[in-house]
Structure 1
Amino acid sequence: MTYTEALQYLYAATPAFQEVGASAYKPGLDTTRQLDAHYGHPHRAFRSIHVAGTNGKGSTSHSLAAILQTAGYRVGLFTSPHLLDFSERIRVNGQPIDQDYVVRFTEGARAQIAQLRPSFFELTTLMAFCYFHDQQVDYAIIEVGMGGRLDSTNIISPILSTITGISLDHTQYLGDTLAKIAYEKGGIIKPQTPVIIGRAEEPEVLATFQRRAEEEAAPLRLAATEFRFVRSQPEATGQTLYLQPKGQGEAERSVYFELGGAAQRYNVPTILTAVEELRRLGLELPDEAVRKGLAEVCALTGLRGRWETLSRSPWVICDTGHNEDGVRYVVEQLRSLGCPLHIIFGMVSDKDVRHVLALLPPEARYYFTAARVARALPARELQELAESYGLRGEAYPDISAALEAAKASAAAGELIFVGGSNFLVADLISIYHNTK
């Protein structure tokens, strides 16, 4: 079995939410626990940090991994979905999982797949835990796939839980109110284990987290009360954020972050509060490691697609924000640029497409298209929906055609932005990757 054959087998034998959506969703921990027992409970061999949230958990997870590995620890990182290749999901000190390991694990898992019928995420969660065990990592940053309470990753007993924030997404699985979603995300809060909450502006969300923390005797810290965002200064390859730490007489603190998105104003306080809590737990995280981890997070961990500049001539930026809350900050940032906008846009059909379209700037020129996944909303259907919100543009069969059209139309100093779907961003990055 080759690496390509192993992935083809996994996608065929274990349904993947990334590919097929709802039919792959399998809530509950029974299958994961059976797999965990079969493999000898590999997650018990390392200490872990659990990260949940509607938006921001990827940026937060990668940043914490970058800081820890810069401080000298051997760090595992498990995230999803991937953009270019499956191996991006499982990393040790920024390096993707060895392809031969994927093959060996897959060949060895055939009997368990036949017996337990796990989902793709259930099986690959155990693949990650086994790899981290075999690689003898000191710490692993584990990003929740969806929700938290019933997510496959929730078999771990972390030293720290982090919930970046709550907004409406995956409502058909997690509930149709913020309180219901907070209940699911709060399911990662463990007994007597500290938890960091990034954003909880709505009273019902904060009350849900506080109630869960009290039930579990888990110390809870609110990042928004630890660090107040003051302002940010965009720079060529990132941004400097200015924060006001808690406490009287504290001097304003500047932090350079390689990720330039507007939403990072909420993620950086969460990351810094998590760092302070990890220090309390005994980790040696020097200020220089924090500075370098934030300043070089993409290089250290391989993170892609977060307000990423792919080209400066023509000017092309992409961002993986794909729900109402994420797109709101993308639009804020687009408008702050003050230049004509060419927006290549695509979404998957199981998202709240109408609420997202209502946020988009009508003054932009649009190029509607679809990513190369079965869940993608057809470009023509997206175009027709967008027209009812005053968004004008043409439909294109794929990202390549849309990009060529945008390049032909955009003048110097005008921006081509690509977003609306992780998968569309993945298709775009693949184009630039293959032309290097």
Structure 2
Amino acid sequence: MTYQETINYLFTRLPMFSRIGAAAIKKDLHNTIALCDALDNPQQHFKTIHIAGTNGKGSVSHMLAAILQTAGYKVGLYTSPHLHDFRERIKINGEMITEEYVIGFTKRIQPQIDLIEPSFFEITVAMAFEYFAKEQVDIAVIETGLGGRLDSTNIITPELSVITNIGWDHMNLLGHTLEKIASEKAGIIKQQIPVVVGETLPETKPVFEAKATAMQAPLHFAYEQFSNLKKETVDHKLLLDINETASNKQLHYTLDLPGIYQTKNILTVLSAVRQLQQLNFSITEAHLQTALASTKKINGLHGRWEVLQSNPTLVLDVGHNEDGIKQIVAQLAESSYRQLHIIIGMVKDKEVEKVLALLPQDASYYFTKAHIPRALPETDLQQKAAAFNLNGICFENVNAAIANALQNAQKEDLVLVCGSVFLVGEVEWSMERGE
């Protein structure tokens, strides 16, 4: 098989959440365990950091990987979903897994695929684990897909567990209360392994405390260790002054990820770094400064308030759930523009109305969809939006919507693409830029 034939096989032969939703999710770890057993349990041959959370886990994963790489370690990075190329999910020191490895692995694992009928995600997890083991990484940063307790990645015993935050997302799979969602995410907490929690709510903090106590796992709340003193956005970079509680020391960082929600993620990252230093990882302040200023460049994180052009300003953001859209609205409140143009597409299994209720009524809207079966038709989204006095026109694809918005926009305007990771992934502009 060629690479494209292999990818088509993986996308169509295996149950895939982005295409079919909850039906692709397996309710236990049996398949992943069986796959990794067949591969001689590669996950046991390298160190890991395990990261879960409703929002922010992609940013935190990429920042930690950049820091460890800058400190001289060979670093695996497993994240999902991808935006443009499947291989974005599996990287070592910022370089994607080779096409040849994807082809070879898929051929070798076909007997297991036929035997146990795994999901797409289960196969990609096994592929990542084998690749990292064969390439002898020093450590791998592993991001969960959904939840934590039953996530396919949850067969590792990490050096450190990290939970960014808890919010409303995937309730049909994780539970309809914040406590239940937190309990699923807390499933990554392992016996005597330190855990960092970025943010808590009154409903979620006791869940983490109880789980950590039961597992005898040292528990650290990032917001108790660090706090933001000042933030400023200059030239699409985020300048931060941060106080470390224990030493009362002021720290200064420049992030190439300009979204103001990174002010929360950075506290989680710093708390995680302190734990890694306790575990004898050689990470200096200079490594932090360098890595945080270049996370996008080091390992290619896209779609987090990503500015593609100015005059008019065109921004991509993968925010797609209630909490993610709240962060986008907060970002808009701090942005300067004449008129706002919002290009939005969503998937059917999100709480669409809750998202629409948060969006500004004075923006011009361009309703569209990603080309996946789970996508909400743009006409349905337009109809739902009208109930919230959000009015606009429909487009069959995101690139046609962008072209129209840029044509309508004046130089001082802001054009924002949001609502679905898969929608942002179909923006041809960011692919052509190749950043």
Offset, 1:19: 2.0
Task: Report the Cα distance in structure 1 between the residues aligned to 2:288 and 2:29, rounded to whole angstroms.
Answer: 34
Distance 2:146 2:433 in 1: 33
Q: Please report how far the alpha carbon of residue 170 of structure 1 lies from its aligned counterpart in structure 2 after TM superposition.
A: 0.1
Separation in 2, partners of 1:178, 1:134: 39
The reply on whether 1:278 has 2:276 as its aligned counterpart is: yes
Letter in 2 for 1:237: H
The match for 1:90 is 90
Q: Secondary structure at the match of 2:154?
A: helix
Which of 271, 279, 299 is the equivalent residue of 2:297? Answer: 299
Distance 1:363 1:320 in 2: 22
Count of aligned positions: 433
Return structure 1 stretches of 4+ with deviation > 3 angstroms: none
Q: Structure 2: how far apart are the matches of 1:266 and 1:112? A: 42
Equivalent position of 2:205 in the other structure: 206
Q: More displaced, 233-242 or 191-200?
A: 233-242
2:375, 2:275 → 1: CA distance? 40
Q: Does the Cα contact within 8 Å between 2:53 and 2:165 map onto a contact in 1?
A: yes
User: Percent identity at matched positions?
Assistant: 45
Q: Distance in 2 between matches of 1:415 and 1:104?
A: 45
1:235 aligns with 2:228: no
Within-5 A mapping of 1:99-114: 99-114=99-114
1:42-93 deviation line (CA, Å, top 9, x unaligned)? 0111000000000000000000000000000000000000000000000000
> CA shift at 1:252, angstroms?
3.0
The answer to whether the 8 A contact 1:13-1:113 is kept is no
Separation in structure 2 between the aligned mates of residue 251 and residue 86 of structure 1, nearest angstrom: 42
Task: Give the whole-Å Cα distance in 2 for the aligned partners of 1:283 and 1:421.
Answer: 36
Contact persistence 1:164–1:197 (CA under 8 A): yes
Give how far 1:313 is off. Answer: 3.4
Structure 1 residues 293-340: Cα deviation after superposition (integer angstroms, max 9, x where no partner)? 111001111111111011113310110011000110101111221322
Please tell me whether residue 395 in structure 1 is matched to residue 427 in structure 2. no
SS in 2 for 1:126: helix
Give the Cα–Cα distance (whole angstroms) in 2 for the partners of residues 254 and 284 of structure 1. 20
Flag the 1:435–1:298 CA change in 2: closer, same or farther, 3 A: closer
- 2:321 aligns to what? 323
Aligned partner of 2:41 in structure 1 is 41
The residue number in structure 2 matching 1:29 is: 29
Q: How far does residue 20 in structure 1 lie from its aligned partner after superposition?
A: 1.9
1:119 corresponds to which letter in structure 2?
Answer: S
Structure 1 residue 3, shift from structure 2 partner: 0.5
Structure 2 contact 365–390 (Cα < 8 Å) conserved = yes
Match of 2:307 among 309, 324, 344: 309
Match in the other structure for 1:54: 54
Tell me how far apart the structure 2 counterparts of residues 309 and 168 of structure 1 sit (CA, whole Å).
27
1:287 corresponding residue in structure 2: 285
User: Matched residues in 1 for 2:76 and 2:308: separation?
Assistant: 27
| Pairwise CA distance, 1:172 | 0.0
Q: What root-mean-square deviation, in Å, do the aligned CA atoms of Structure 1 and Structure 2 show?
A: 1.1
Give yes or no for the alignment of 1:11 onto 2:11.
Answer: yes
Q: Unaligned 5+ residue runs, structure 1?
A: none
Deviations 1:163-212 (A, max 9, x none): 00000100000001100000000000000000000001x22200000000
Deviation (angstroms), 1:392: 1.4
Q: Secondary structure at 2:192's aligned position in 1?
A: coil
TM (norm. structure 2) is 0.98
Distance in 1 (alpha carbons) for counterparts of 2:367 and 2:312: 19
Alignment partner, residue 348 of structure 2: 349
8 Å Cα contact 2:356/2:388 also seen in 1: yes
Counterpart amino acid of residue 418 in structure 2 = G
Once the two structures are superposed, what CA deviation does each residue of 1:330-377 show, in whole Å capped at 9, x if it has no partner?
011112213221111111111110000000011111111111111111
Equivalent position amino acid for 1:379 in 2: E
Shift of 1:107: 0.5
Q: Distance in 2 between matches of 1:10 and 1:121?
A: 10
Matched, 1:159 2:159: yes
1:261 aligned onto 2:255: no
In structure 1, what is the Cα distance between the partners aligned to 2:203 and 2:138? 37
Counterpart of 1:374, as a letter, is P
